[in-house]
Protein backbone atom coordinates (compact mmCIF):
# COMPACT_ATOMS: atom_id res chain seq x y z
CA UNK A 1 0.00 0.00 0.00
CA UNK A 2 1.18 3.52 -0.77
CA UNK A 3 2.50 5.40 2.21
CA UNK A 4 1.94 8.93 0.91
CA UNK A 5 0.58 10.86 -2.03
CA UNK A 6 -2.61 10.17 -3.93
CA UNK A 7 -4.24 6.88 -2.99
CA UNK A 8 -6.76 6.86 -5.86
CA UNK A 9 -5.16 4.39 -8.27
CA UNK A 10 -6.65 5.95 -11.41
CA UNK A 11 -5.45 9.46 -10.57
CA UNK A 12 -2.01 8.22 -9.47
CA UNK A 13 -1.66 6.33 -12.75
CA UNK A 14 -2.69 9.29 -14.92
CA UNK A 15 -0.29 11.65 -13.14
CA UNK A 16 2.58 9.17 -13.46
CA UNK A 17 1.99 8.96 -17.24
CA UNK A 18 1.83 12.72 -17.92
CA UNK A 19 4.43 14.28 -20.16
CA UNK A 20 5.38 17.91 -20.61
CA UNK A 21 2.39 19.99 -21.79
CA UNK A 22 -0.19 17.22 -21.27
CA UNK A 23 -3.33 18.52 -19.57
CA UNK A 24 -5.84 17.32 -17.00
CA UNK A 25 -9.09 18.91 -15.89
CA UNK A 26 -10.52 19.16 -12.39
CA UNK A 27 -14.24 19.82 -12.76
CA UNK A 28 -17.36 20.58 -10.81
CA UNK A 29 -20.16 18.04 -11.06
CA UNK A 30 -21.88 19.88 -13.91
CA UNK A 31 -19.13 20.29 -16.51
CA UNK A 32 -19.91 18.29 -19.65
CA UNK A 33 -17.17 15.71 -20.26
CA UNK A 34 -16.37 14.80 -23.87
CA UNK A 35 -17.06 11.13 -24.67
CA UNK A 36 -13.49 10.53 -25.84
CA UNK A 37 -11.84 11.84 -22.66
CA UNK A 38 -11.22 9.55 -19.69
CA UNK A 39 -13.44 10.36 -16.71
CA UNK A 40 -12.49 9.78 -13.10
CA UNK A 41 -15.63 10.40 -11.10
CA UNK A 42 -14.97 11.26 -7.47
CA UNK A 43 -18.40 12.83 -6.83
CA UNK A 44 -20.12 11.27 -3.83
CA UNK A 45 -22.70 13.89 -2.85
CA UNK A 46 -23.25 17.57 -3.56
CA UNK A 47 -20.03 19.25 -2.43
CA UNK A 48 -18.09 16.07 -1.68
CA UNK A 49 -15.29 16.06 -2.50
CA UNK A 50 -14.95 19.77 -3.12
CA UNK A 51 -13.14 21.28 -6.07
CA UNK A 52 -10.62 23.02 -3.79
CA UNK A 53 -9.70 19.95 -1.73
CA UNK A 54 -9.24 17.95 -4.95
CA UNK A 55 -7.13 20.72 -6.51
CA UNK A 56 -4.97 20.91 -3.39
CA UNK A 57 -4.22 17.17 -3.47
CA UNK A 58 -3.46 17.19 -7.22
CA UNK A 59 -1.14 20.20 -6.94
CA UNK A 60 0.82 18.45 -4.19
CA UNK A 61 1.55 15.56 -6.57
CA UNK A 62 1.72 17.19 -10.04
CA UNK A 63 4.25 19.59 -11.57
CA UNK A 64 2.07 22.30 -13.13
CA UNK A 65 3.39 24.99 -15.46
CA UNK A 66 0.11 26.66 -16.40
CA UNK A 67 -3.56 26.75 -15.43
CA UNK A 68 -6.63 27.78 -17.42
CA UNK A 69 -9.93 28.84 -15.90
CA UNK A 70 -13.20 30.16 -17.29
CA UNK A 71 -13.31 33.95 -17.19
CA UNK A 72 -16.83 33.73 -15.76
CA UNK A 73 -15.35 32.57 -12.44
CA UNK A 74 -14.21 36.17 -11.83
CA UNK A 75 -17.76 37.47 -11.48
CA UNK A 76 -19.63 34.31 -10.49
CA UNK A 77 -17.38 32.54 -7.98
CA UNK A 78 -14.88 34.92 -6.42
CA UNK A 79 -14.42 32.75 -3.32
CA UNK A 80 -13.18 29.75 -5.31
CA UNK A 81 -11.02 31.99 -7.52
CA UNK A 82 -9.36 33.46 -4.43
CA UNK A 83 -8.65 29.96 -3.11
CA UNK A 84 -7.27 28.84 -6.49
CA UNK A 85 -4.91 31.83 -6.53
CA UNK A 86 -3.71 30.94 -3.03
CA UNK A 87 -3.06 27.31 -3.96
CA UNK A 88 -1.52 27.95 -7.39
CA UNK A 89 0.52 31.11 -7.87
CA UNK A 90 1.95 30.11 -11.24
CA UNK A 91 1.04 31.22 -14.74
CA UNK A 92 -2.68 31.20 -15.53
CA UNK A 93 -5.06 32.49 -18.13
CA UNK A 94 -8.81 32.89 -18.51
CA UNK A 95 -10.98 31.92 -21.47
CA UNK A 96 -14.73 31.96 -21.99
CA UNK A 97 -16.62 29.00 -20.51
CA UNK A 98 -17.53 27.91 -24.04
CA UNK A 99 -13.86 27.93 -25.07
CA UNK A 100 -12.96 26.11 -21.83
CA UNK A 101 -15.35 23.28 -22.71
CA UNK A 102 -13.77 22.99 -26.17
CA UNK A 103 -10.25 22.79 -24.71
CA UNK A 104 -11.23 19.91 -22.41
CA UNK A 105 -11.41 17.68 -25.49
CA UNK A 106 -7.59 17.60 -25.49
CA UNK A 107 -7.21 16.58 -21.83
CA UNK A 108 -5.84 13.21 -20.75
CA UNK A 109 -8.50 13.02 -18.05
CA UNK A 110 -11.34 14.94 -16.42
CA UNK A 111 -11.54 14.46 -12.67
CA UNK A 112 -15.16 15.11 -11.67
CA UNK A 113 -15.71 16.36 -8.12
CA UNK A 114 -18.91 16.88 -6.16
CA UNK A 115 -18.49 20.67 -6.39
CA UNK A 116 -21.75 22.57 -6.95
CA UNK A 117 -20.55 26.18 -7.21
CA UNK A 118 -20.43 27.83 -10.64
CA UNK A 119 -17.37 27.67 -12.90
CA UNK A 120 -15.27 25.65 -10.41
CA UNK A 121 -13.20 24.05 -13.17
CA UNK A 122 -9.51 24.21 -14.05
CA UNK A 123 -7.24 22.88 -16.75
CA UNK A 124 -3.74 22.08 -15.47
CA UNK A 125 -0.86 21.81 -17.94
CA UNK A 126 1.96 19.53 -16.90
CA UNK A 127 5.43 20.95 -16.45
CA UNK A 128 8.71 19.15 -16.01
CA UNK A 129 10.60 18.48 -12.77
CA UNK A 130 14.04 19.27 -14.20
Which of 75-83's residues contact partners 24+ apart within 8 Å by CB, and which partners? Answer: 76/118, 76/119, 77/117, 77/118, 77/119, 77/120, 79/117, 80/51, 80/52, 80/117, 80/119, 80/120, 83/52
Is 66 one of the catalytic residues? Answer: no
Binding-site sequence positions for substrate: 28, 97, 119-121
Alpha-carbon span 10 to 14, nearest angstrom: 6
**Which residue out of 5, 7, 20, 105 is catalytically annotated?**
20
Binding-site sequence positions: 28, 97, 119-121
What are the residue numbers of the active site? 20
Amino acid sequence: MKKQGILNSEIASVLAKLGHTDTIVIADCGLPIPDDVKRIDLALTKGTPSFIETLEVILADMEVEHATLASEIKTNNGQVLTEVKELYQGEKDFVSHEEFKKITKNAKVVIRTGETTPFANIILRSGVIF
